[in-house]
Amino acid sequence: MTRTEALASIAASLDTMEDEDVIEFAEKLASKASILPRELTDDELALIEQSREDFRLGRTMSLEEAEAETIAFLAERRRLHAAE
């Protein structure tokens, strides 16, 4: 089902629902509006803002650079874990 089909199905269902059921349905939808499992902390929000600023100023990595950094990080983790 596409988004358009889903919205049409919801709209059609709303026409046949009692007012109380429509209100309950709307409240459930509103409570699920955030896709986050919890509210973000101030530190997390600050990191998001920092990331946006970095992106705005062009402080980004290419895919190749990000992959190389990730591979190096994982190799170091494996090395440290092997030494335990």
User: What is the predicted pLDDT for the residue at 6?
Assistant: 83
Asked whether the beta carbons of 42 and 50 are under 8 A apart, the reply is: no
User: What is the predicted pLDDT for the residue at 17?
Assistant: 86
User: What is the predicted pLDDT for the residue at 8?
Assistant: 86
pLDDT in tens, 22-48: 888 888 877 766 666 778 899 999 999
Which carries the bigger pLDDT value, residue 76 or residue 13? 76
Coil, helix or strand at residue 78: helix
| 28-34 LR contacts (CB < 8 Å, sep 24+) | none
Place of tokens 């939808």: 29
| Residues above pLDDT 90, as percent of the chain | 43
Q: What is the DSSP letter of 2?
A: -
Is residue 73 over pLDDT 90? yes
